[in-house]
Amino acid sequence: MKKPKLSRDVLVIGNRIGGLDIGILIDAEVKVSGTIKYNMVSNVTILFNEIVGNVFGIWISGYNGSAYPGEAHYNSIYGNSEAGLLYTGRRADLTLPLYNASYNWWGDISGPYVKGKNNGAGNAIKGFVENVIFEPWLSTPPPEGTAVWAVSVFRVYLLCLLALMCKPS
């Protein structure tokens, strides 16, 4: 079998991607007789897209540390029923590279829901969440949104709570 060609430095920019099972699928694997042989896609940059109304907004799969999946910034990722971002590997022994998904709007100022990391009301990030950089996120859809860190949201909620409790009578 001939070695397949690689796709590198792919840019996905300025699209509205919706109504699909998977909005954007970045899958690095080519299997030959059930064995992973080649990483096919690397360095996919996803910028200024509206990724809405899919089952999965972005699904990244199959990376083992020998290729870089890319990054996603300044996107509106919301209204996806299962996850805004799913980062999976196919085998437990794979070492996944970090995926940078900072500076995206996840559908809510509180950011994405990331189990054990952020209880945001926006679209969820699932899978290997420890390998996903999602802070800061945007406060509103790009280009107007400003950067928000989880600590900032907590501080705002805490200040609001204190203001209600400490109201002068």
Alpha carbons within 13 angstroms on the beta-carbon side of residue 49 total 23
Residue 1 lies in a domain: no
Q: Decide if 22 is inside a domain.
A: yes
91 located within any domain: yes
The C-alpha atoms of residue 75 and residue 143 are separated, in whole angstroms, by 9
Q: Is the pLDDT of residue 90 over 90?
A: no
Average pLDDT (71-82) is 97
Domain count, the chain: 1
Domain presence at residue 2: no
Residue 101: give the domain boundaries.
7-165
Question: Is residue 66 within 8 Å of 35, Cβ to Cβ?
Answer: no
Instruction: Tell whether the model's pLDDT for residue 162 goes beyond 60.
Output: no
Is residue 136 in a domain? yes
